Structures are given as C-alpha cells and as structure tokens.
Amino acid sequence: MKDKRVVFMGTPEFSVPVLEMLIEKCNVVLVVSQPDSFVGRKKELKFSAVKEVAVKNGIPVFQPNKICEDYNAVIDANPDIIITCAYGQIIPKILLDYPKYGAVNVHASLLPKYRGGSPIHRCIMNGDDKTGITIMYMAPGMDDGDIIAQSEISIDFCDNVGIVHDKLSVLGSEFLYEILPDIFSGNASRVKQDESLVSFAYNIKREEERLDFNDSVINVYNKIRGLYPFPGAYFMIDGEVIKVSDARISEELYDGEIGKIVSFFDDGFGVRCADGVIVITRLKPAGKKEMSCRDYINGKRKENLLGKKLC
C-alpha cells in the first residue's frame, strides 16, 4: 500500500493512531486539520494532536477555516484516497468524488447510531453497554455514507469516556488497516444505513455538563462517567464550581431533600437524587487539582457539608 497517495483529515488525539498507521503503511502526502487554537489562561497558540504528528514526520499540513470553500490544496495533492477521522468539518462533494478510491471515514460508533461529533460521550451518558468503530464511505451529509465494516466492543459499567475513547482510538487504527486492502482492491462492502435507526450525537453544550440531581441516580452516574475526563460534569456548592471525576451508586437509600448531601462514606459523600443516592468519590474544585472526595471532606469538615444543597 506504500504506493497509495493518502490525504488524511483529522484533528484531535483520537485521530493520531490512525494517522500513524497510515504514515507507516501508505504514502501520506498531505494532512488536513482544524486551525490552531488558543488554549489556557495565557492563550497560547497550540497545534492539534494530528498536526503535531504531521510536523514530526515532515508531512505538509493544510488548515482551512472552511474546507467547503478552501479545498484546492487537497486536489493539488492528487490523492488516491481521502481518509478522515474526527476532522470536525463536513467535507464538500467535490473532494468526496475526486480520489480514485473515494473518501473513507473512521467513525467512533456503530452507525447509524450516534452520527455526529460526540458519539463516545453520548453512548456512555445513555448507558449503552456496547459501541464500536464504523469504517464507511463518506457522503455529503453528516456520517450518512455507506457502511464498509464495523467492529464492536463492550462498555463496562465503570468505564468513562476517557477509557472508551482510548480503546476505540486504537481499534480504529487496527480495523482500518484490516479493511484497506479490500478498499484498494475494490472488494469492500457497501451497505446503506437504515435511516429508521438513526440517532445523533451532537457536541456537548456547556449547560449539559451541569448535574441535575432531580434526575435518576443511574442517569447522574452515567453523565459523570460520560463526561470524564473531558469536558467534565459539575455541580455548584456555595457558588463554587466543582467538577466530578468519579462516583458510585449507593446500595442504600438515605432520606433527605433531593440535591442535598445526606450521608458520608469512607470514600466520599452521598447526594440525594430522585430515586437514590450518588456517592461522589473524586472531584476538582475550581482552580485546584483533582482530589479524593475524602480529602475534600477533611478540608471542609463534615458538619459544614451535611445538608448542603448542590445545584
């Protein structure tokens, strides 16, 4: 496959294993990534994870603000195939139709379930027990192209988005490597997606990150693990934002008002939800490092926390 000219399009850390595999096995002639962004309090300009790999390997990088308007650099690279993985923009039809072997996407869900930019977050927040990688031919819509192949993994009850993200990132690279020979030989399958089974995984909004203890305890638990380590679920106490890193569901139900701290355990404090108690075990106060909830309790004192309202 070293003779195949590949344009790779991707942005975050999730895409890196796929790009590294393509660099090793194919001829990556151009990498397309989202524009550099300013991060942190100092607003330092930072390369995307994919750009870092491209620069390290001496591969040209193209970073258009809008690929639908600024795409000539891709055509000029004369790719045999375009491969995308978590790029972050809709690819125009002129690019999808250009390469000899088409445009192929590595997507982190079992399509047609969870089309969109946050499939890993959404599947955990919804309490799914499985997910996977879909290799698909791209179409002008959002993740609606024909499916080439899928590979499934289970989601354990204690898995968070970081754990599943890392599993799928590696699986995407390995699975694409298995499928590429069929794509290049013309033997790859093409299966239309069942539109009656479509669901969407829109990007997480800030207001969704806030915990609602009026919800069921299982939904609160799933939101915590579905948002950790990025972007992080949070609650507020005495006007302070507290991000939650880990939690568990109490086997016992404690009386008390919904949203209040009603009990203490060796590993944290319990907050009353609609139908149970969620035990917060790790957290991160604003401006501080992540810590065990036990250390947080020791710093605040139990008598000052019991009955506190979280919102």
Ordered domains of the chain (ranges, CATH): 5-197 (3.40.50.170), 208-305 (3.10.25.10)
Residue 198 has pLDDT above 90, yes or no: yes
For residue 294, give the H/E element and its range.
helix 293-300
The pair of three-digit structure tokens given for residue 88, joined into one six-digit string? 């972050």
Q: What is the pLDDT of residues 166-181, one digit of tens each?
A: 999 999 999 999 999 9
Q: What is the pLDDT of residue 43?
A: 76
Angle (deg, nearest 10), helices 16-25 and 49-56: 20
pLDDT of residue 8: 98
Name residues whose C-beta falls within 8 Å of residue 124's C-beta, 6 or more positions apart in sequence.
155, 159, 160, 161, 164, 222, 225, 226
| Predicted confidence (pLDDT) at residue 41 exceeds the cutoff of 90 | no
Is the predicted pLDDT of residue 73 greater than 90, yes or no?
yes
What mean pLDDT, rounded, does the chain reach?
Answer: 96
pLDDT at 45: 86
181-211 b/e (C-beta count within 10 Å ≥ 16 → b)? eebbeeebeeeebeeeeeeebeebeeebbeb
Q: Record the pTM.
A: 0.96
| Per-residue pLDDT, 39 | 78
Kindly list the distances between the CA atom of residue 128 and the CA atoms of 22, 119, 133, 157, 158, in Å, as whole numbers in the listed order. Answer: 31, 11, 15, 9, 12
DSSP symbols for 53-88 = HHHHTT--EE--S-TTT--HHHHHT--SEEEEES--
Give pLDDT tens digits for 277-302: 999 999 999 999 999 999 999 999 99
Q: Return the H-helix or E-strand segment holding 274.
A: none
Strand partners, 130: 154
Average pLDDT (6-30) is 98
pLDDT tens-digit series, residues 110-156:
999 999 999 999 999 999 999 999 999 999 999 999 999 999 999 99
* Beta pairing partners, 149: 135
pLDDT at 42 over 80: no
**Torsion angles phi and psi, residue 21, rounded to 5:** -65, -45
Q: Is 78 left (phi over 0), alpha (psi -120 to 50) or beta?
A: left
Residues 6+ apart with CB under 8 A from 1: 25, 26, 180, 181, 184
HSE, CB side, 13 Å, CA atoms: give it for residue 301: 2
Question: What is residue 37's predicted lDDT score, i.e. its pLDDT?
Answer: 86
| Mean of pLDDT values over 259-279 | 97
Structure token digits, residue 153: 């993994």
Asked if pLDDT for residue 57 goes beyond 90, the answer is yes
pLDDT over 70 percentage in the chain? 100
